[in-house]
Structure 1
Amino acid sequence: MGNLADEAGTDVEIYRRARTPGSVHIVSRSDAPEELLALLDSAGLERHTEETAGPVYVWHETPDGLSEKAQKQLATRAMLPLLIADYKVNIDPDVYDVTAWGQAMAAHRAQQAKTTGAQAPAAAPPASPGSPSRSR
């Protein structure tokens, strides 16, 4: 096993490390596909890579200079695209921001409604007068 996500059997683990109290740490499984890493990148998280004689370690962190509240909000919002893409995500309750989650869900639902409304199929034509009606 290579890291916390590997050990937990998840795709992504989100938590605050004791050694790096200034940021939220996001670790993906060792064999994470580039698509997963790109989702984390696009959420505004900073990718870090450490090459060793053995494996290459890849993780993400919240950017420097964010308040603790902003870090929690960013980490929480980053979960939604991962879950939509069917990745297994675990977030430490101390990092989770319920308000940010609600806002991310509301924005997603609004976008879905806009997309669905724009692509809604035309209504079915009314039955012709000679068509039999179905009654039970």
Structure 2
Amino acid sequence: MGNLADEAGTDVEIYRRAHTPGNVHIVSRSNAPEELLALLDSAGLERHTEATSGPVYVWHETPDGLSKRAQNRLATRTVLPLLIADYKVNIDPDVYDVTAWAQAMAEHRTRQAKAQTGLATAVPPQGAPGSPPRSR
């Protein structure tokens, strides 16, 4: 038997464990690629591993010392880069923070707009004055 992500058919499951007041728990599927685990690392989550006689289990948690609200915000902000990278993610509604999601989306849109503006100024349209003629 695998973990919750394996059972749910997702790449990542984000939840707070039942009956424990601890940190937010982030479980990736058993065969998660290093790129997925690195995205979780880069979000500020702490990676944990446990070797068994079979597979090595890997999971992430929010860092110790954060308030419950700060943990929820961090976990919620982690979702957008995962979705952009085309991973299937499920976040428990009790962990989801709508304000953190809105902020993450606004920051993403701002970055996208800046990237599009930079691209538009870096590549002149065809036939624009000063653009080199195209050879056939």
TM-score normalised by length of structure 1? 0.89
Q: Distance in 1 between matches of 2:60 and 2:114?
A: 32
**Counterpart amino acid of residue 99 in structure 1:** T
Could you say what the CA RMSD is over the residues aligned between the two structures, in angstroms?
Answer: 1.2
Gaps of 5+ in 1: 127-136
Deviation at 1:33, TM superposition (A): 0.1
Question: Equivalent residue for 2:131?
Answer: none
Identity fraction in percent: 79
Secondary structure of the residue that 2:36 maps to in structure 1?
A: helix
Establish whether residue 122 from structure 1 lines up as the match of residue 94 from structure 2. no
Q: Distance in 2 between matches of 1:53 and 1:21?
A: 29
Q: Distance in 2 between matches of 1:65 and 1:99?
A: 21
Q: Distance in 2 between matches of 1:56 and 1:123?
A: 52
Q: Distance in 2 between matches of 1:11 and 1:20?
A: 23
* Number of aligned residue pairs: 126
Question: Equivalent residue for 1:55?
Answer: 55
Rg bigger for which structure?
Answer: 1
Establish whether residue 80 from structure 1 lines up as the match of residue 80 from structure 2. yes
Question: Equivalent residue for 2:13?
Answer: 13
Q: Distance in 2 between matches of 1:101 and 1:124?
A: 39
**Counterpart amino acid of residue 115 in structure 1:** A
Establish whether residue 39 from structure 1 lines up as the match of residue 39 from structure 2. yes
**Counterpart amino acid of residue 122 in structure 1:** P
Question: Equivalent residue for 2:89?
Answer: 89
Secondary structure of the residue that 1:66 maps to in structure 2?
A: coil
**Counterpart amino acid of residue 6 in structure 2:** D
Deviation at 1:122, TM superposition (A): 1.9
Any runs of at least 4 consecutive aligned residues in structure 1 with deviations exceeding 4 A, and if so which? Answer: none
Secondary structure of the residue that 1:119 maps to in structure 2?
A: helix
**Counterpart amino acid of residue 63 in structure 2:** P
Deviation at 1:20, TM superposition (A): 3.8
Relative distance call for 1:109 and 1:10 in structure 2 (3 A) is same
Deviations 1:53-97 (A, max 9, x none): 111000000000000000000000001110000000000000000
Deviation at 1:28, TM superposition (A): 0.3
Q: Distance in 2 between matches of 1:73 and 1:34?
A: 24
**Counterpart amino acid of residue 40 in structure 1:** L
Deviation at 1:124, TM superposition (A): 4.2
